[in-house]
Structure 1
């Protein structure tokens, strides 16, 4: 048998949201840097997310969402099967060494095609609860990469496939890990970053300005807020900050979010997997408001490790009021050393080697490299 070539082809299947696409993008860049070729399978939403997978061979496949009763299920099944057939035709020419799914219904056709063609497979679960698609195919894949040491909804018989790697983040975020926590003097500017994920969060726009408005006047005057808002609410938020005389930079999209994270003293955010990964890699303290409607309440599960370590405070949306936010802000921002301590504790939860670890594990899975003795011991 001829030796396996050093340059391989990998298909990454992700889509729908940045939560799936960002870690897939980070892994893709790492695989390309190692001399491999990468193709992306996604849906129309995933293909439109800016600054991801530029120059990478991209295939938009149909993938229905299993919802809407029997008629909806039938339509979704037809779309998934059509996408599977298209993916198999792609594999006939691209010849992937492995197909890696990042969850979400858009990954399903590519994974089913890989099973049919007996291509090695893996999935990456970004959240602390195994997602429905990953749960459905867990028995058939070769590896299950996880971002958290404890994953709910994972069946015991699948635990032997699990590799804890963390959640891949962009290099621009990874570089923040080597930067010190921004200096904060008693009369210096206190910078707050407010972000609700790719779509923003109405509750943050409704609560955060009024919560900051309850802080002592001398503290409010030192604040500089950067906040992501939904388009329909941005002018109302702008007017509220102006009335409170709190300097605020508002936008519906923050293309320079990593830079903003780098200079932030405190982050107020949802608890999506990418947000948690970036906070812990960069080492930034946070007040987190899990999305109550997230599938299987996975955002509440996402915050547990970080909160237990002391790197963040979590407020359920049902209790997220201006008064509660102001109380938590004062505990973090006005107690000497609290922010610096929380930043260090957040950083202790980070897994900055996630991208490299996952790429190496994939190479090992397809037989390109042997496992080093120290990795076996780990």
Structure 2
């Protein structure tokens, strides 16, 4: 433990991109002897990987979006209700600081911290400052960033900005000092394909065809591990079988760190956590950013690793997400099939060309792996914890902290969590 035990609240949106770094920070602060509480939404409470000691509070967050005034009113009510409940949590838990990881579920918590003048820190995971973090940038005490250049981060806040990187899971960081898997002219060529928490349908359409286009000498050495959506997995399995390519398919991999450790090449989306893990371990990649990501942040996330030579980017054209089978009009259905077929075919050729460029020479692949490794921030969790610890109550106040009788316990606020969640259910 680095000093007196303190209490910290982490607020994060309900996706893995927000919560994985929150979990990593929680683990670091817990190891230093502090007590941590997490505030998120119902979806976030179900994200795998939450430490057992991390007490979770599920609060209404509200979302003010769209053009419907009634929706705005409902969203505002949710935000205000969540802020009120967060303030009651602060009164009992007495946090030394609040750390916001962005996403709408963090909005009420950060509003409560601002109202109660609790020291606060923002952590941005992407190379584009998120909407909620943008709103609070002028109100918080510090802003932690994942890279040198973050879009929409006003220069007037430069004095409160600290570059820390993106914290990753301990089991992934543990692989950083492991050597890149042996890759020679005759060795297996292991490719890992993922598309976010639920897979990406376009990868299921494109990647099997791209791999089938590879020269025989390279294709015969392939060993593929691919994440697919449940509704796509049998069709993808059939495609690989037709092409004679060994492939292990699943909708979710529990041991993703182990899969990443054995991979020679990654193909997939460019979310913040994906980039952080690729650079932590040092794995070359072909990245296909999600074209509909807010503020095109997945493209921005690729800038550093691509500039270093650790990855290549293929842009996915905008294509309707409508399923052809759902279209009753035969002409419209056939038109959509032709449009999708042309897009998938072009992308498959692009992926094939990039794989050949990066993998036909073993040294080229090894160089790309080292370039990706050089972009990593292995001390991200520790550096973020140092920043968080620099704000908050004086040590004497930590020692004298008294928890009001009948409310949350000093070990994480379990009683208050039950009470607040009961109120939400009502």
TM-score (norm 1): 0.94
Q: How far does residue 336 in structure 1 lie from its aligned partner after superposition?
A: 3.8
State which drifts further: 74-83 or 49-58: 49-58
Q: Which runs of 5+ in 2 are unaligned?
A: 318-342, 396-426
Residue pair 2:127, 2:300 contacting (<8 A) in 1 also: yes
Q: How far does residue 281 in structure 1 lie from its aligned partner after superposition?
A: 0.7
Secondary structure, aligned partner of 1:86: helix
Verify: 1:20 aligned to 2:46, yes or no: no
Q: Deviations over 1:186-210 (max 9, x none)?
A: 2211100001111211111110000
In structure 2, the residue matched to 1:298 is: 297
Cα distance change on mapping 1:259 and 1:368 into 2, 3 Å: farther
1:217 and 1:262 map into 2 onto residues whose CA distance is 26
Residue pair 1:145, 1:163 contacting (<8 A) in 2 also: yes
2:394 and 2:185 map into 1 onto residues whose CA distance is 55
Secondary structure, aligned partner of 1:193: strand
Residue pair 2:305, 2:375 contacting (<8 A) in 1 also: yes
Residue pair 2:220, 2:245 contacting (<8 A) in 1 also: yes
Q: How far does residue 54 in structure 1 lie from its aligned partner after superposition?
A: 2.4
Secondary structure, aligned partner of 2:174: helix
Q: Deviations over 1:303-346 (max 9, x none)?
A: 01110000000010127611111000000110241100000000
TM-score (norm 2): 0.84
Residue pair 1:66, 1:76 contacting (<8 A) in 2 also: yes
1:68 and 1:12 map into 2 onto residues whose CA distance is 28
Give the 5 Å matches for 1:124-139. 124-139=123-138
Residue pair 1:6, 1:368 contacting (<8 A) in 2 also: no
In structure 2, the residue matched to 1:165 is: 164
Superposed CA RMSD in Å reads: 1.4
Q: Deviations over 1:138-184 (max 9, x none)?
A: 11010100001001101121121110000000111111111000001
1:302 and 1:185 map into 2 onto residues whose CA distance is 30
Q: Which runs of 5+ in 1 are unaligned?
A: 370-378
Residue pair 1:15, 1:47 contacting (<8 A) in 2 also: no
Give the 5 Å matches for 1:89-108. 89-108=88-107
Secondary structure, aligned partner of 1:227: strand
Give the 5 Å matches for 1:247-266. 247-266=246-265
2:129 and 2:246 map into 1 onto residues whose CA distance is 41
In structure 1, which of residues 345, 350, 353 is the aligned counterpart of residue 371 of structure 2? 345
1:214 and 1:186 map into 2 onto residues whose CA distance is 19
Verify: 1:329 aligned to 2:328, yes or no: no
- Structure (1 or 2) with the larger CA radius of gyration: 2
In structure 2, the residue matched to 1:372 is: none
In structure 1, the residue matched to 2:214 is: 215
In structure 1, the residue matched to 2:225 is: 226
Residue pair 1:125, 1:144 contacting (<8 A) in 2 also: yes
In structure 2, the residue matched to 1:356 is: 382
Q: How far does residue 68 in structure 1 lie from its aligned partner after superposition?
A: 2.6
Q: How far does residue 218 in structure 1 lie from its aligned partner after superposition?
A: 2.7
In structure 2, which of residues 28, 32, 39 is the aligned counterpart of residue 41 of structure 1? 39
2:51 and 2:43 map into 1 onto residues whose CA distance is 13
Verify: 1:241 aligned to 2:267, yes or no: no
2:168 and 2:307 map into 1 onto residues whose CA distance is 22
Secondary structure, aligned partner of 2:176: helix
Q: How far does residue 116 in structure 1 lie from its aligned partner after superposition?
A: 1.1
Cα distance change on mapping 1:317 and 1:71 into 2, 3 Å: same
Residue pair 2:193, 2:226 contacting (<8 A) in 1 also: yes
1:124 and 1:49 map into 2 onto residues whose CA distance is 19
Q: Deviations over 1:227-272 (max 9, x none)?
A: 0111111111111011111111111111111110001000001000
Residue pair 2:96, 2:391 contacting (<8 A) in 1 also: no
Cα distance change on mapping 1:189 and 1:368 into 2, 3 Å: farther
